[in-house]
Amino acid sequence: MVNVQDCLYCSKSIADNEKSSDNVYTCDGCNGFVHSSCAGLSTSEAKCMALKRRTLKFLCNDCNIGLKDLPSLKNLIMELKRDIANLKQQSNTCNCQYANDIFMQDKLVREFEDRDERKSNLIIFNLPEEDREDNEEKKSNDKNQVEMLVRSAG
């Protein structure tokens, strides 16, 4: 089976057996095929294309236009890289600020919870405070001391 590909310029078919002839050039950019009559090369350029070790590069119109766009694409890529770096830096700053806001909110919630736990506490001056670990023992001891104070005042 013969593999057929179209000329990039005239869209006429190029068979496999024609691709290796001097009548067809291969684009060094996209590897597409172009008839020598469609390429518009001068006689000296055509002779260079026939050399086995040629240094002359042949580019189709699309690849040639794309080659001209490379510097602007390179600049665009560099600009996008800078923008991404700036966005990452801004994101890190926002994340730090967000974490700080959450920390402050947690701190406020703990403060309000602590105040809520102490809202019904009774403060009695000159009454020594116990340094016991067990809350139940503290409460029992505090209750006994308050009862003794009330009886003695009573």
For tokens 């701190």, what's the residue? Answer: 107
pLDDT at 63 over 60: yes
CATH class of 5-59: alpha beta
Question: pLDDT tens digit string along 91-128?
Answer: 878 777 888 888 889 899 999 999 988 888 878 887 77
Token pair belonging to 45: 């350029």
Can you give the residue ranges of every domain in the chain? 5-59, 61-121, 124-153
Q: What is the pLDDT of residue 131?
A: 76
Question: Can you give the pTM of this predicted structure?
Answer: 0.45
DSSP 97: H
**Cα distance between residue 70 and residue 77, in whole Å:** 10
Question: pLDDT tens digit string along 17-41?
Answer: 666 666 788 899 999 989 888 988 8
